């Protein structure tokens, strides 16, 4: 059977997370999205564990069901160097045992959803290995709280401890991650890290698994690629749309080459803000191969349906017009994922031709992208040729997508900046 799962979310016990992140609301929105499976998130928090037991029925020791949606036990933790790791637990007893082991290293495990542990990445992974808990780096490339912000390799971080997967994060995809040869033997997960249950957050990145049932054990086999189970595809944002794809100022979002950022000592001459190294530049620093592993599942680039509708209509994502059309799509076809990935374009066009063209452009990599950076999401544009074409003629259009030419930054040149500092 085919299962679409988002294994990294947060509860209302984590910082900066919507109070609506409760199990009944998450389950309701997961069904609208088309997710069969969701990670509980924050499972080390004892209060969140109580809510899980209150709202769910156990399927087995590690799988729970809330209003028709399956949940498996997951949690994100932060180590002593502020690197984040995703844990996937086989059973509730292993959650409790791990909690007991690490609580002497944490001041907030009883209150925070994403606890801080005064342990190294290697120490956390070794504990997970001992208890047969799956572990991997969360959003591995982002310039905040990620593996590759602090380390130059998996070995540097985890030493001899075993990791089971690598989570790509919103600003990277499989092709980018595979530029590092050490990753070729590691499965990738693509998850939303959702802080809100809205379907343009929950499931904005997900994994499609081929399994025999929706349980932890089946998902474990799929991640490891054993017994005929497998990850069929990773789905997520075009990495250029991620907030940290390009090197850019975190205050005014002016984009810089890596060389200029280094020359400027990572301080923006335009506004004085901090320049954050982009995921693309960080991966290029570490890249050591152009080969691709033969068994890597495809990565499907997509965007939340509401964001596509908003772009096509030229309206805000919370506008009445966007919500009405979004609801119509779900009434007709059942879920967002079905519309975004599985339906024929002609069926989508029966509801709205402009949205169908935008989804076609997504599926065929024909969009024009204004890349994100510095904490600001990228932007998408549909080429005029696609907007003007008939649905039946789309496949004959000869146009390639790509990055829009970025506007020249309104800033002093590096030479002007240096001279100005000398005068002052």
How many residues belong to the chain? Answer: 424
The pTM of the full predicted model, rounded to 2 decimals, is 0.91
Residue 296 lies in a domain: no
> Looking at residue 65, which CATH number applies to its domain?
3.20.20.140
Same domain (yes/no): 30, 141? yes
Residue-wise pLDDT for 167-188, tens only, equals 999 889 999 999 999 999 999 9
- Structural domain includes residue 287: no
For residue 415, is pLDDT > 70?
Answer: no
- In terms of domains, do 210 and 71 share one? yes
pLDDT of residue 404: 63
Residues 321 and 194 placed together within one structural domain of the fold:
no
Summarize the annotated binding site as residue ranges: 8, 10, 76, 84, 139, 169-170, 172, 193, 205, 237, 249, 252, 268, 271, 299
List Cα–Cα distances, 319 to 14, 310, 314, 365, in angstroms: 28, 8, 10, 27
Total number of domains in the chain: 2
Same domain, 93 and 226: yes
At 380, the pLDDT band (50, 70, 90 cuts) reads: confident
Quote the percentage of the chain above a pLDDT of 70. 95
Give per-residue pLDDT as tens, 84-97. 999 999 999 999 99
Are 193 and 318 contained in the same domain? no
Residue 193's domain comprises 1-236
Taking the C-alpha atoms of residue 167 and residue 370, their distance in angstroms, rounded to an integer, is 24
Three-state DSSP at 404 gives: coil
Answer whether residue 297 is part of any domain. no
In this model, does residue 408 exceed pLDDT 70? no
**Domain-ending residue, one of 182, 206, 236:** 236
User: Which residues are part of a known binding site for Zn(2+)?
Assistant: 8, 10, 76, 84, 139, 193, 249, 252, 268, 271
**What pLDDT is stored for residue 398 in this prediction?**
80
Question: For residue 424, is it within any domain?
Answer: no
Q: Tell whether 199 and 320 lie within a shared domain.
A: no
The per-residue pLDDT for range 6-43, each reduced to its tens digit, is: 999 999 999 999 999 999 999 999 999 999 999 999 99
What average pLDDT score do residues 144-166 get? Answer: 97
Out of 236, 252, 286, a domain closes at: 236
| 220, 342: one domain | no
Judge whether residue 321 has pLDDT over 50: yes
b/e burial code for range 258-296 (CB count within 10 A of at least 16 → b): bebbeebebebbbeebebbbbbbbbbeeeeeeeeeeeeb
The string of pLDDT tens digits covering residues 253-286 is 999 999 999 999 999 999 999 999 999 999 999 9
Segment 124-128 shows an average pLDDT of: 98
CA 146, distance to chain mean position in Å, is: 13
Give the pLDDT band (50/70/90) at residue 407.
very low
Q: Please return the burial class of 178, using the count of CB atoms within 10 Å of its CB with bins 0-12, 13-18 and 19+.
A: buried
Binding-site members for Mg(2+) are: 169-170, 172, 205, 237, 299
């Amino acid at each position: 059977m085919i299962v679409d799962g988002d294994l990294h979310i947060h509860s209302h016990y984590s910082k900066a997370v919507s109070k609506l992140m409760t199990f009944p609301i998450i389950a309701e929105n997961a069904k609208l999205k088309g997710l069969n499976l969701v990670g509980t998130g924050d499972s080390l928090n004892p209060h969140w564990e109580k809510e899980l037991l209150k709202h769910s029925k156990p399927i087995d020791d590690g799988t729970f069901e809330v209003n028709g949606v399956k949940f498996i036990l997951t949690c994100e933790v932060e180590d002593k160097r502020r690197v984040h790791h995703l844990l996937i637990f086989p059973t509730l007893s292993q959650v409790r045992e791990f909690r007991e082991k690490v609580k002497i290293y944490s001041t907030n495990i009883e209150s925070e959803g994403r606890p801080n542990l005064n342990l190294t990445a290697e120490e956390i992974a070794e504990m997970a290995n001992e208890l047969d808990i799956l572990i991997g780096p969360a959003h591995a490339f982002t310039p905040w709280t990620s593996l590759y912000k602090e380390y130059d390799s998996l070995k540097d971080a985890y030493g001899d401890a075993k990791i089971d997967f690598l989570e790509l994060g919103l600003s990277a995809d499989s092709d980018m991650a595979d530029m590092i040869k050490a990753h070729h033997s590691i499965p990738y997960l693509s998850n939303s890290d959702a802080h809100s249950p809205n379907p343009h957050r929950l499931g904005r990145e997900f994994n499609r698994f081929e399994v025999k049932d929706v349980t932890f054990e089946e998902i474990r086999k799929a991640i490891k690629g054993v017994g005929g189970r497998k990850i069929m595809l990773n789905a997520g944002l075009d990495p250029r749309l991620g907030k940290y794809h390009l090197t850019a100022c975190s205050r005014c979002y002016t984009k810089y080459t890596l060389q200029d950022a280094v020359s400027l000592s990572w301080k923006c001459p335009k506004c004085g803000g901090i320049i954050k190294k982009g995921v693309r530049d960080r991966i290029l620093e570490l890249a050591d191969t152009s080969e691709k592993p033969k068994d890597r599942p495809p990565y499907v680039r997509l965007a939340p349906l509401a964001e596509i509708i908003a772009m096509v209509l030229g309206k805000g994502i919370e506008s009445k017009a966007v919500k009405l059309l979004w609801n119509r799509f779900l009434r007709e076809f059942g879920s967002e994922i079905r519309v975004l990935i599985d339906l024929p374009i002609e069926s989508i066009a029966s509801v709205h031709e402009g949205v169908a063209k935008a989804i076609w452009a997504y599926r065929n990599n024909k969009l024009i992208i204004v890349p994100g950076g510095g904490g600001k999401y990228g932007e998408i544009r549909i080429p005029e040729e696609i907007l003007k074409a008939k649905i039946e003629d789309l496949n004959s259009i000869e146009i390639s997508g790509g990055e829009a030419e970025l506007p020249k930054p309104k800033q002093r040149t590096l030479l002007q900046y240096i001279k100005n500092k000398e005068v002052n």
